């Protein structure tokens, strides 16, 4: 008998009529990308963009916005989450977008190598909303009024780096609209004393502070020394360079101390001796450069009362091969093991 495929198919269809009805869930349409909750879509976009190194950020977000109708909003939100400005044209484009749409930006970084006009900078700050971190780098000149704009009311982190001159505000009665948690002042030449005082006074709950000052900036050092007691008790992280050791007398909550630019072993010991003995015990000590104390000097520092609870000692500027050639490495490692202190190297 010749095989008939159509006959077999007809018999299968007849049997299927006798089968019990299937649950309704089996007859639903397959799930699509648009059916995901908005929180999951935003998390997927964040993970996708966060792990990209070679693909430009805007290209990745543009591709994600084309996945589905509900993916466009989260992709656009991440597009303006972190803004980097280096040229006047990019600043003008941001201002133009800010006039048409309301942007929620968390990080704003501006590089001033191209001499951005001060009025354009003010328009950029006004265009963003809800910014929590601002980084201003490599400015030849900067107006202090930028830091008083009302749109910075949610600012928590401020970084000022490699700026030659900051012109003082025309109205010294201005008050900062923000309360900082982290402040970095690195390689600034001419800074008005009013700016340092207002930044410190407006941030009584400052937790992290980085101060890298050139020894020739006497006025800046004096203004920092005068205003430092208002923020010292709340600091948990402090990175300093070329500043008087007496600053640490008010740091009763300090947990991590990072020092750079020291030229003598005794200065580090003087810094640690100025920490209040009745305050929080230092948990981490970071040193930079090959002029750090070694051998018996470093062991004597570890025996100070303020270093009794030290958990981590980090030596930067030394490789594993370099330290093994020294005479003090074995002794230092043994002392750290006895104190249950982790010893780390960083080139």
pLDDT digit of tens for each residue in the chain (347 aa)?
A: 554 544 444 444 444 445 455 555 555 555 677 788 878 887 787 776 654 444 456 677 778 878 888 887 777 767 777 788 888 888 888 888 777 666 667 888 888 876 788 888 888 888 887 889 999 988 888 888 888 888 888 999 999 988 877 877 766 556 778 899 999 988 777 777 778 888 898 898 999 999 888 777 888 888 888 899 999 999 999 998 888 888 899 998 999 998 876 544 557 788 888 888 776 778 999 887 555 555 667 778 888 888 888 899 888 777 777 777 777 788 888 888 888 888 888 76
Instruction: Give the span between the Cα atoms of 300 and 294, in whole angstroms.
Output: 10
Beta-sheet pairing, 128-129 with 133-137 = unpaired
What is the rounded CA–CA span in Å between residue 319 and residue 317? 7
Question: Is the separation of the CB atoms in 260 and 212 below 8 Å?
Answer: yes
**Rounded to two decimals, what is the model's pTM?**
0.77
Q: 230, 165, 185, 225: which is closest to 203 by C-alpha?
A: 230
The answer to whether the CB of 78 falls within 8 A of the CB of 46 is yes
């Amino acid at each position: 008998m010749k095989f008939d495929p159509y006959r077999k198919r007809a018999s299968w269809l007849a049997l299927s009529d006798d089968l019990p009805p299937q649950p309704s869930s089996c007859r639903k349409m397959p799930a699509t990308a648009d059916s995901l909750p908005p929180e999951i879509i935003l998390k997927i976009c964040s993970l996708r963009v966060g792990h990209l190194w070679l693909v430009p950020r805007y290209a990745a977000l543009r591709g994600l916005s084309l996945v589905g109708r509900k993916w466009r909003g989260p992709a656009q939100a991440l597009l303006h989450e972190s803004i980097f400005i280096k040229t006047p044209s990019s600043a003008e484009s941001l201002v133009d977008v800010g006039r048409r749409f309301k942007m929620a930006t968390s990080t704003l970084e501006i590089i001033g190598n191209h001499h951005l006009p001060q009025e354009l900078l003010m328009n950029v700050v006004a265009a963003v909303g809800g910014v929590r971190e601002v980084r201003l780098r490599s400015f030849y000149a900067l107006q202090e009024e930028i830091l008083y704009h009302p749109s910075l009311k949610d600012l928590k982190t401020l970084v000022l780096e490699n700026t030659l001159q900051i012109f003082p505000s025309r109205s010294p009665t201005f008050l900062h609209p923000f309360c900082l948690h982290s402040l970095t002042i690195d390689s600034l030449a001419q800074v008005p004393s009013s700016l340092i005082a207002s930044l410190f006074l407006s941030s009584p709950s400052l937790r992290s502070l980085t101060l890298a000052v050139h020894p020739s900036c006497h006025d800046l050092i004096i203004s920092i020394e005068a205003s430092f007691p208002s923020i010292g008790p709340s600091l948990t992280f402090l990175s300093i360079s070329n500043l008087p050791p007496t600053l640490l007398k008010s740091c009763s909550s300090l947990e991590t101390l990072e020092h750079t630019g020291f030229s003598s072993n005794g200065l580090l010991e003087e810094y640690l001796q100025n920490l209040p003995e009745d305050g929080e015990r230092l948990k981490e000590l970071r040193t930079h450069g090959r002029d750090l104390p070694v051998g018996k000097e470093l062991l004597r520092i570890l025996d100070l009362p303020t270093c009794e609870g030290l958990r981590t000692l980090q030596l930067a500027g030394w490789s594993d091969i370099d330290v093994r050639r020294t005479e003090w490495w074995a002794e230092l490692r043994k002392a750290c093991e006895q104190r249950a202190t982790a010893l780390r190297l960083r080139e």
